[in-house]
Amino acid sequence: MDKLVAELMIEANNQWGALLAAHEVPGLYRAQTGGKVYMTTKAEPHQGLGVAQYAWSTSPLRRSVDLINQRQVISVVQNTPPAYPQNSEALTTHMRNFELTYQAYSEFQTRMERYCCLQYLIQEEIQVIHATVWRENLVRLDNLPYMTKVYGLPELKAGTRVSLQVQDVDTLLMELRTKFLGVLEDEPAQVDVIVDTDDENQEEAA
């Protein structure tokens, strides 16, 4: 059900963004090219989600960007002048303010998640953990939203599952030191594309 809701929200944001673009009404878009996610007032592709444009519009009660975009969409539907016309300085200012706030919240959430993961390892006295190779010596722990580098990890394909020994857990510096024990013999895990540390949680890996 969560997957279905996420996909429908992505489609709605895609279609409403296309509606604004078709009527040459500016909006606030989330775009991704070359792996970099950024915001823009013009309709640009979001490669990670595979859509021609992606305008956050479905959650006006929790994001100011969505409220702004819904106002723009309503103006198109009602055939009235938009609240934010072309080259609107106010719209650009809202976008910049949102980006700064969004980045601050995102960084805080990331640090909070990492801290909780490290505390879990300490609390459960976990000595051996399993992980999936993401790229080079970067791995993602099984069942935890935590990625870390394993120094001394042999060259392995992305998706290879490995066993690691926990050597040191530092909750002050938010660091985990592990030692490579071996490759697990089960099927390789599926490595998904990181869209934005929002997937954009599908709506929010969107």
Task: Specify the CATH number for the domain of residue 142.
Answer: 2.40.50.140
Give long-range contacts, CB 8 A cutoff, 24+ apart: 40-44: 40/95, 41/88, 41/91, 41/92, 41/95, 43/17, 43/18
Once rounded to an integer, what is the mean pLDDT over residues 162-177? 94
State the pTM of this model: 0.66
Q: Are residues 44 and 108 in the same domain?
A: yes
Once rounded to an integer, what is the mean pLDDT over residues 1-16? 92
Contact by Cβ (8 Å): 32, 195:
yes
pLDDT in tens, 20-65: 999 999 999 999 988 889 999 999 999 999 999 999 999 999 889 9
Once rounded to an integer, what is the mean pLDDT over residues 114-138? 94
Q: Are residues 125 and 64 in the same domain?
A: no
pLDDT at residue 199 greater than cutoff 50: no
Q: Are residues 49 and 150 in the same domain?
A: no
Instruction: Report which residue type is found at 3.
Output: K
Of 196, 149, 204, the C-alpha closest to 47 is: 196
What's the chain's average pLDDT? 88
Residue 205 forms part of a structural domain: no
Q: Are residues 13 and 108 in the same domain?
A: yes
Once rounded to an integer, what is the mean pLDDT over residues 169-175? 92
Total Cβ atoms within 10 A of residue 125: 7
Our count of domains for the chain comes to 2
Range of the domain at 21: 2-112
Q: Are residues 9 and 71 in the same domain?
A: yes
Of 191, 188, 189, 165, the C-alpha closest to 176 is: 165
Q: Are residues 36 and 128 in the same domain?
A: no
Q: Are residues 12 and 36 in the same domain?
A: yes
- Using DSSP, state whether 68 is helix, strand or coil: helix
Give the angle subtended at the CA of 188 by the CAs of 185 and 192, to the nearest 5°: 155
Q: Are residues 57 and 129 in the same domain?
A: no
The β-bridge partners of 141 are 131
Of 72, 57, 54, 62, the C-alpha closest to 102 is: 62
Once rounded to an integer, what is the mean pLDDT over residues 120-137? 94
Residue bearing the bigger pLDDT, 185 or 203 = 185
- State the number of CA atoms in the 13 A half-sphere of 66 facing the CB: 14
Residue 126 forms part of a structural domain: yes
Spatial distance between the Cα atoms of 97 and 32, rounded to a whole number of angstroms = 19
Q: Are residues 71 and 6 in the same domain?
A: yes
Tokens encoding 42: 């013009």
- pLDDT number for residue 186: 62
Residue 192 forms part of a structural domain: no
pLDDT in tens, 75-94: 999 999 999 999 999 999 99
